[in-house]
Structure 1
Amino acid sequence: MKRFNSLKLVVLITALSTFVFSCSDDDDNSNPPMETSVYLLASNNSDGNINIYDVTDGSNVTTKTLITTSVAADGIYYDQSDDAVIQASRSNLGLEGVTNISTITSGTSVGIDIMGTQDMSSPREVAVNGNFYVVADNADVDGDTNTPDGRLYIYSKNGSSFTLRNVITTDFKLWGITFYNNDLYAVVDATGELAVFTNFLSNTTDAMLSASKRVVIEGIVRTHGLTYDAATDTMVMTDIASAMNGQDDGGFHIIENFTSKFNGVSNGGTLAMSQQIRVAGSATMLGNPVDVAYDSETETVYIAEAGNNGGRILAFNNIGTGGNIAPVLNNSLAAASSVYLYKN
């Protein structure tokens, strides 16, 4: 048995007293924690401008618009290191970034601070892993609409420029993409399927690449948008249903405990509707939900709705049991195309 000498005992008592006093200070809220601000970025194919919604207080949402040189844009992302918004310009066919956005006032015309080469034909969603930016391009590659295909453009970001590293050609049409660690998940456009490319960035040269696995998501007619939340292992996917109906036949699916459920389905198999939550119906205003973002802390789903009434930004936070539920946020945005959520 070890014993403390008297000096050690005095030191220990002093340290414990300091600790208790410090805890009492915290309990008195002398130094309250800093509040987190929540922002939703949105791009569109109507004017290409960047819309930034402060959704910290759902009852008092404010909007800031940055006027860009693009006239149509899709995939959007926030880079905290540069306080920058990056979006895929469908009119300029490249990645474009605007820095220091928190200091720019609404209505300001902004230049391009981070620029890439104009390589693409029909850029859609953007997925980011470290300094690598992957853009899904849904243009027909071989000119034959009977053979579905698409391209994934892989760019590296270095300072104020994007450099094209390589291009992957897929054997299915693309739209939404998202990373989970080093695996890239992609919707199989024109179907209700979800595909994954494992260790995607290890493919460093131009090549044709088939997905590591494809799974049918039961209940989805035609998927477009997806997002994955690693903190809660939740995947959210959108369903635009019939492309001819942009008003009221869309929806979105929430897949909790996604990893085990997806891994439990064999390649070519079906993830059952009983393992998902579906939100759809006339009250939702979902007709052509092309992209989605998810806040797991408040369990809020944000949607870029391209069709209903010309385009909307919608939010749903009463999603636990799914069904025909009305949005808690409904802002008009013509030809809304992509959303991204960030906090600071």
Structure 2
Amino acid sequence: MKPLKSKPFLATIALTSILAFSCSNDDDDNNMDMGSSSSTMIYASNNSDGNVTIYDVTDSANITTKTLITSSTAADGIYFDSDTDAVIQASRSGLGLEGFTNISMLLNNATVNADLNGSTDMSSPRELAVNGNTYVVADNADVDGDANTPDGKLFIYTRSGNSFTLRNTITTDFKLWGITFKGNDLYAVVDATNELAVYTSFLANTSDATVSATKRIAIEGIVRTHGLTYDSASDVMVMTDIAAATNGQDDGAFHIIENFTSKFNDTANGATLAASQQTRVSGSATLLGNPVDVAYDADTQTVFIAEAGNGGGRILAFNNIGSGGNIAPVVNNSLAAASSVFISKN
């Protein structure tokens, strides 16, 4: 990972953000100030060195960052637990969940040892979704060894104290990448397609089993989806499109689906959610080539992207998304092989 350069680099980001904000009088679309929130933090993982990068984006004119040095060499899905001041990521080199507590007290470039640990069960962990003390990791390794029969595995862990215990696994009949909870329902992208799947009452599956999704729909306009996130307060789903996997520089996009619940429910199983019911951000100005994960701040309508390809990897933010199109990011930070992002507001 390439740590952010210090003050000159941050000053450039601040100037970019200020210029972007001055282009519109619509504060909802062009304001990253967090109002009553005392802090807004972005946590990012990567597949370059496995370290954790933390961005304080509370003040868009003064974005700061710190890096925690971990023993992993590659990592993906990431989550922050404010109750225990702990960041947890799915280690792709260690093949298990690893967590680090009391991180707010640590200085930049501190070396951290995992004090939240579990068994090393996975083969190719990707996204992490959390519901209470249950942690679900999507693994996109080929389960049966036959590339002609797409499948994946969901590893379900329970957290107790400083330990993660594997509760059970669910084998899927499609390749996995991004996952997110909406209440007790688990939504998952169908990798290598433009489809979105849901498992209703997912955690009711308590035994090892092969389970088909409750419903699958196609998302018009997406070529190949990877990342997704859902915000319950605003009922917004955001999904990313990496398009051609061989082009990591300029063919990526993300889609915003407002009033998601009714739109998803009104789309029949196997049918397509029309492009007219979504907002798409794409084009050369976006720097989106391989957007593998996404986080969303509904208060400021800001989309944060882990971009794995363009420029070697970036953390991007977009807050002028109302009309979609070929818009430039208001924040553009280098992070080699960025793989996952998570937002926490306190």
TM-score (structure 1 length as normaliser): 0.90
Pair 1:111–1:246, CA change in 2 (3 A)? same
- 1:143 aligned residue: 145
- What residue ranges of structure 2 are gaps of 5+ in the alignment? 1-34
* Partner secondary structure for residue 111 of structure 2: coil
* Partner secondary structure for residue 75 of structure 1: strand
Equivalent residue for 2:219, pick from 217, 220, 230: 217
1:152 alignment partner AA = L
CA distance in 1, matches of 2:162, 2:302: 33
Whether 1:86 aligns to 2:92 is no
- 1:174 aligned residue: 176
- 1:205 aligned residue: 207
- 2:301 aligned residue: 299
Q: Which runs of 4+ in 1 moved over 2 A?
A: none
CA distance in 2, matches of 1:172, 1:262: 19
- 1:101 aligned residue: 103
2:190 alignment partner AA = V
2:230–2:238 Cα contact (<8 Å) kept: yes
CA distance in 2, matches of 1:88, 1:35: 28
Q: Bigger radius of gyration, 1 or 2? A: 1
Q: CA deviation at 1:132?
A: 0.2
Q: CA deviation at 1:320?
A: 0.1
Aligned residues: 312
2:37–2:345 Cα contact (<8 Å) kept: no
CA distance in 2, matches of 1:239, 1:185: 16
Per-residue deviation, residues 164-213 of structure 1 (Å, max 9, x unmatched): 00000000000000000000000000000000000000000000000000
CA distance in 1, matches of 2:239, 2:254: 6
Q: CA deviation at 1:306?
A: 0.1
RMSD of aligned C-alpha atoms? 0.8
CA distance in 1, matches of 2:272, 2:132: 32
Per-residue deviation, residues 288-332 of structure 1 (Å, max 9, x unmatched): 000000000000000000000100000000000000000000000
2:81 alignment partner AA = D
1:211 alignment partner AA = A
Bigger RCO (CA 8 Å, 6+ sep): 2
Q: CA deviation at 1:108?
A: 0.5
- 1:232 aligned residue: 234
Equivalent residue for 2:325, pick from 320, 323, 326: 323
Alignment of 1:237-276 (within 5 A): 237-276=239-278
CA distance in 2, matches of 1:124, 1:151: 11
TM-score (structure 2 length as normaliser): 0.89
Pair 1:35–1:238, CA change in 2 (3 A)? closer
* Partner secondary structure for residue 237 of structure 2: strand
